[in-house]
Structure 1
């Protein structure tokens, strides 16, 4: 099963990637200046339904399309979710606490797809040709 270290290793292992530090020390992985995996800081749109506490461990992954987003969010077997704040935004959210529900090979696909959704045509083509 997957861990936060796996997310970092997989994202950092993609080509042409830079890791930047967000304003609160959170890591943002980018390709060509575009984020594709983003460790979020606590925000009011993602809270524990029982306690009302903001989640401190949300990771955002970009997706290629609304269909991809819907498939991940509406599949009851996955822990991916979204919030109204992200309506119309091509991304899904995942709590790090639930990474253990995702096999590492599936996480690798999610990270690769996130990278592909944000990389330039040239970079995408180069990577896919390998």
Structure 2
């Protein structure tokens, strides 16, 4: 994806136009294993375009995406790093591209879409 930078700091990940579109979270009390009560150490957040997109992903039981009440009203889905292998390469590429498109400057996103359409 064009203009991607690796972001570091509290939430390392990837950004475009100064906005994170994928980032890795440290263990937090809002994301815990329901069986053990232990905080998940490997949560990855992916931005999505809309609340409808978010709900489509988290409500689809065939996907490993989830959310927590902490993320209510925030357009992102969560994925445990250990579950990345449950996604096909195409599915992973799509979620990364969609995350980039959700946060990229409008002109950059339009240019990227146009280049792929032709």
Q: Once the 2 structures are TM-superposed, how far is the Cα of residue 128 of structure 1 from its aligned partner? A: 1.1
Q: Once the 2 structures are TM-superposed, how far is the Cα of residue 46 of structure 1 from its aligned partner? A: 0.3
1:81 to 66, 75, 82: 66
Q: Once the 2 structures are TM-superposed, how far is the Cα of residue 20 of structure 1 from its aligned partner? A: 1.4
Q: Once the 2 structures are TM-superposed, how far is the Cα of residue 27 of structure 1 from its aligned partner? A: 2.4
Are the equivalent residues in 2 in contact too, given 1:22–1:28 (CA < 8 A)?
Answer: no
Instruction: Please identify runs of 4+ aligned residues in structure 1 that moved more than 4 A.
Output: none
* Bigger relative contact order, structure 1 or 2 (CA pairs below 8 A, ≥6 apart): 1
Aligned residues: 115
1:18 paired with 2:11, answer no
Once the two structures are overlaid, the 10-residue window that deviates more, 14-23 or 90-99, is: 14-23
Whole-angstrom CA distance in 2 between matches of 1:112 and 1:82: 20
Q: Once the 2 structures are TM-superposed, how far is the Cα of residue 52 of structure 1 from its aligned partner? A: 1.0
Compute the TM-score of the two structures, normalised by the length of structure 2: 0.94
Are the equivalent residues in 1 in contact too, given 2:7–2:20 (CA < 8 A)?
Answer: no
Whole-angstrom CA distance in 1 between matches of 2:9 and 2:63: 27
2:18 to 13, 33, 45: 33
- Gaps in structure 1 of 5+ consecutive residues: 1-13
- 2:98 paired residue number: 113
